[in-house]
């Protein structure tokens, strides 16, 4: 499938026709909100967030399934006038973004390389990566670090219990702390100095993660680095326009239950969101 899109945006604040540039951001569910909250500060674009909650967790899906979801979601974004796509999901960034490169005529931003850059800025050479099963097994982070910094020791820990816990809003429960300990202890045994949150759901567990990892381990959330990269292409409003433009010019859509998403998202973000729309995903377009 190939999409042909005429880009009319010319770098001015409002492109011809008065339609403000829109960027589509997607994830399997709530995780991409950790990217969205950074992005709304770094770009003036209108944002459209899609949580594919009928297919969460992406970490348990196959490459073919994830690629099918990608094309369906990009199709949805194009009908909404989006002119760029941010894959706010490590799993799809690892398994899908490299395969669709050159096949989409609007920019597609993935998170893997930005995460590696962000880690290399602070690490002394021993890196732990917490990730979904699919991301860990894809080898994407292992390869990206080997290419960017071959001397860095990288230990990737798959953490399949975490996404369902975040989706359930369980960010401080005993169950969540137990699961985190199970995943972080083996990384601490490797004497890591930096821990990469290699799934966009994990920044919502950052407090507990930092506590368990201890003060000697730097925690890296790659969302700000990705938001900076997107913002360089689609810059932010001037400071005096920021409050108005960035407050919440976002449409939220999900493929599952909108109310469940809204309630848990508000709990995680500690702010009120506008009404959430429903978009049916067939999940069959591979
Ligand atoms: N938040 C996504 C990621 O960064 C997807 C997690 C999932 O649904 O398993 O990988």
User: Ligand 1 pocket check: which of 59, 65, 88, 159 to mutate, most ligand atoms within 8 Å of Cβ?
Assistant: 59
81: left (phi over 0), alpha (psi -120 to 50) or beta: left
Nearest-atom number in ligand 1 for the CA of 60 is 9
Distance between Cα 157 and ligand 1 center (Å): 14
**Could you state, in order of their start, the residue ranges of all structural domains in the chain?**
16-110+225-278, 112-222
Q: Give the count of beta carbons closer than 10 Å to the beta carbon of residue 173.
A: 13
**Interacting residues of 283 by C-beta distance below 8 A, sequence separation 6+:** 54, 55, 65, 68, 69, 72
pTM of the model: 0.90
- At residue 234, the pLDDT reads 78
Lowest mean pLDDT among 18-27, 66-75, 232-241, 265-274: 232-241
* CATH class belonging to 112-222: alpha beta
Is the bond into 57 cis (omega within 30 degrees of 0)?
yes
Tell me if 69 CB under 6 Å of ligand 1.
no
The secondary element (H helix, E strand) that includes residue 97 is helix 97-100
The secondary element (H helix, E strand) that includes residue 151 is none
| Residue indicated by tokens 């069959």 | 284
Tell me if 167 CB under 6 Å of ligand 1.
no
Residue 89 known to be catalytic: yes
Structurally, what CATH architecture does the domain formed by 16-110+225-278 represent?
Answer: 3-Layer(aba) Sandwich (3.40)
Distance between Cα 236 and ligand 1 center (Å): 27
Q: Give the count of beta carbons closer than 10 Å to the beta carbon of residue 193.
A: 15
Given 89, 115, 127, 144, which residue is catalytic? 89
Bridge-based pairing state of the strands 22-27 and 46-51: parallel
Whether 112-222 and 16-110+225-278 are alike in CATH topology: the answer is: yes
| Residue indicated by tokens 């594919």 | 52
Region 206-233 average pLDDT: 96
Torsion, Cα 165 92 68 163, to 10 degrees, reads 0
Tell me if 57 CB under 6 Å of ligand 1.
yes
Q: Give the count of beta carbons closer than 10 Å to the beta carbon of residue 168.
A: 14
Contact 197/170 with Cβ under 8 angstroms? no
- Strand ranges in the chain using DSSP code E only, listed in sequence order: 22-27, 46-51, 82-87, 108-109, 126-131, 153-158, 194-197, 218-220, 250-254, 276-278
pLDDT digits (tens, 9 = 90+) for 13-71: 444 444 457 999 999 999 999 999 999 988 888 899 999 999 999 999 999 999 999 99
Give the full edge-to-edge strand order of the sheet including 126-131. Answer: 153-158, 126-131, 194-197, 218-220
- At residue 233, the pLDDT reads 83
Residue 199 known to be catalytic: yes
Region 186-215 average pLDDT: 98
- At residue 236, the pLDDT reads 56
């Amino acid at each position: 499938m190939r999409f042909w899109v005429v880009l009319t945006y010319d770098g001015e604040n409002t492109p011809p026709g008065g339609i403000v540039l829109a960027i589509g951001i997607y994830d399997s569910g709530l995780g991409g909100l950790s990217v969205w909250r950074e992005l709304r500060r770094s770009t003036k674009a209108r944002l459209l967030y899609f949580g594919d909650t009928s297919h969460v967790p992406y970490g348990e899906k196959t490459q073919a399934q994830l690629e099918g979801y990608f094309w369906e979601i990009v199709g949805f974004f194009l009908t909404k006038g989006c002119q760029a796509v941010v894959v706010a999901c490590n799993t799809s960034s690892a398994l899908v973004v490299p395969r669709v490169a050159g096949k989409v005529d609007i920019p597609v931003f993935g998170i893997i390389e930005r995460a590696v850059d962000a880690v290399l800025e602070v690490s002394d050479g021993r890196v732990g990566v917490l990730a979904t099963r699919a991301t860990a097994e894809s080898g994407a982070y292992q390869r990206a670090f080997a290419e960017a910094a071959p001397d860095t020791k990288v230990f990737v820990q798959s953490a399949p219990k975490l996404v369902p816990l975040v989706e359930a809003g369980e960010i401080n429960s005993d169950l969540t702390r137990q699961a985190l300990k199970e995943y972080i202890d083996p990384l601490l045994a490797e004497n890591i100095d930096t821990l990469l949150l290699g799934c966009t759901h994990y920044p919502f567990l950052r407090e507990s993660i930092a506590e368990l990892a201890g003060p000697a381990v730097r925690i890296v959330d790659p969302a700000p680095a990705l938001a900076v990269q997107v913002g360089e292409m689609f810059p932010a409003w001037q400071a005096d326009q920021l409050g108005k433009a960035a407050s919440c010019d976002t449409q939220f859509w999900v493929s599952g239950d909108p109310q469940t998403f809204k309630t848990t998202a508000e709990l995680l973000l500690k702010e009120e969101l506008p009404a959430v729309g429903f978009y049916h995903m067939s999940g069959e377009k591979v």
